[in-house]
Structures are given as C-alpha cells and as structure tokens.
C-alpha cells in the first residue's frame, strides 16, 4: 500500500474526505438518497462553477430518470449485440444491466461549436482548445461525482460513446454539435457493498515539492 496523504485539520477537510470516499460503484440499486430535484440542482451548480478555458462554458449535460434512464442502457445493450459474437455479448450484457439497475444516468458532452468558435477566434491557441475542453469536462465529472458521493449515491463513469452516440442523439433530441464524452449510472449502492482497498504509488514518486 502506497503512502497516503491525510488532511491536516484545515477547512477543506470535509471536501478532501469525500474525495477519498468517492469510488467506482457497479452494484447499484433503483433507489436514490435524495429527490430528483436535488440531483438536478447538483448538476446545474457543477456546470455553472466548474472551470472552462476562456470561460467558454463548453460543457453540456443530460440527466435521465425513469424510463429514459432504462432506455439508455437498452440502447447500449443493442449496440453491443450488433458488434459482438453471441458468447462475448452474453459476458458483457450483465455489466450493462448492472448500470440499468441504477436509479438514473448522467450523460456528459462537449459543445464542439463552442470549441470551433474559440479555435477561429484565437488561432494562436487553436490546437489547445479541444484538449482544454476535455480537461474541463473531466473536472465537471469529478465535481458531480464527489457531490453525489456526499449525498449517499454511488456512481461510475462509462464510455460507450462511439457505439451509441448517433442513436442517443436521435432518441433524446441531442444537438448535432454536442459530442458525447461519457455515461454515468447513479444509484444507492447495493446493501453490503464496500469500497475495496486502493493501492497507490508512494507520494514521493508522484508529487514533487519545491520551497
């Protein structure tokens, strides 16, 4: 087990503790610890306050509840069925159904129209705007995930975008310029679920400090 950093008693301790508690949860239930409105409030707050390059506000999110959530994972299953041999599909579909067993799904997108506009407006930085947009959506995903953990919800991040993006765009009326990044199934963790221990590299190898 690698060296672990421990909060030293500052104001950020509660936040740092939640970061440490956030884990990938596959064992989800069709339950929520908070009202749907609170989930939406968390997502909206994170979208408003997660940083974007040049305050470009390129992040986009779709929140799916109920039948819309279930349908998303039916789309994933059918997409896998079309490309996998039967024996491989049977091995994969159980994982997909475990995501469908959750309460809701959050979809994350980057608005490519915003990115292209910045590339044209600031040509000296043009090559950077796409990577910066990916960094921003990563921060948004983390912020939402940590907030959901604090509210008692488990989640994971999935990446079926290349298989399902066209169908998702059609089913949920997603604008053409929104490029899908990830899917986040969310729900109360199943009874008895416990986060596994994480092995980490020693901090002496991963963090350098100069005074």
Residue 175 buriedness (CB in 10 A; 0-12 / 13-18 / 19+): exposed
User: What would the pLDDT profile of 142-162 be if each residue is shown by its tens digit?
Assistant: 999 999 999 999 999 999 999
Structure tokens at 141: 């995903």
Structure tokens at 105: 């799904």
Q: What is the pTM of this model?
A: 0.93
List the domains of the chain with CATH numbers: 25-191 (3.40.109.10)
**Complete DSSP assignment for 35-65:** -HHHHHHHHHHHHHHS--GGG---EEEEEEE
Mean pLDDT computed over every residue of the chain: 94
User: What would the pLDDT profile of 164-176 be if each residue is shown by its tens digit?
Assistant: 999 999 999 999 9
Residue 117 buriedness (CB in 10 A; 0-12 / 13-18 / 19+): middle
**Is 68:166 a contact under the CB 8 Å cutoff?**
no
Distances (CA, A) of 13 to 49, 163, 201, 211: 20, 40, 22, 23
As a whole number of angstroms, the distance between CA 145 and CA 143 comes to 5
Structure tokens at 63: 């929140």
As a whole number of angstroms, the distance between CA 48 and CA 139 comes to 12
């Amino acid at each position: 087990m690698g060296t672990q950093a421990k909060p030293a008693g500052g104001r950020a301790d509660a936040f740092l503790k939640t970061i440490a508690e956030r884990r990938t949860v596959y064992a989800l239930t069709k339950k929520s610890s908070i009202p749907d409105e609170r989930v939406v409030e968390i997502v909206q707050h994170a979208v408003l306050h997660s940083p974007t390059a040049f305050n470009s506000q390129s992040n986009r999110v779709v929140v799916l509840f109920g039948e819309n959530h279930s349908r998303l994972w039916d789309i994933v299953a059918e997409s896998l069925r079309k490309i996998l041999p039967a024996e491989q599909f049977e091995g994969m579909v159980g994982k997909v159904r475990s995501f469908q067993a959750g309460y809701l799904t959050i979809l994350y997108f980057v608005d490519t129209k915003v990115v292209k506009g910045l590339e044209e407006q600031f040509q000296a930085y043009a090559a950077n705007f796409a990577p910066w947009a990916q960094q921003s959506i990563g921060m948004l995903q983390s912020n939402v995930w940590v907030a959901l953990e604090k509210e008692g919800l488990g989640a994971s991040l999935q990446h079926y975008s290349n298989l399902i993006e066209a169908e998702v765009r059609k089913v949920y009326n997603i604008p053409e310029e929104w490029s899908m990044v990830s899917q986040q199934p969310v729900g109360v963790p199943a009874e008895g679920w416990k986060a596994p221990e994480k092995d980490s590299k020693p901090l002496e190898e991963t963090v350098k400090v100069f005074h």
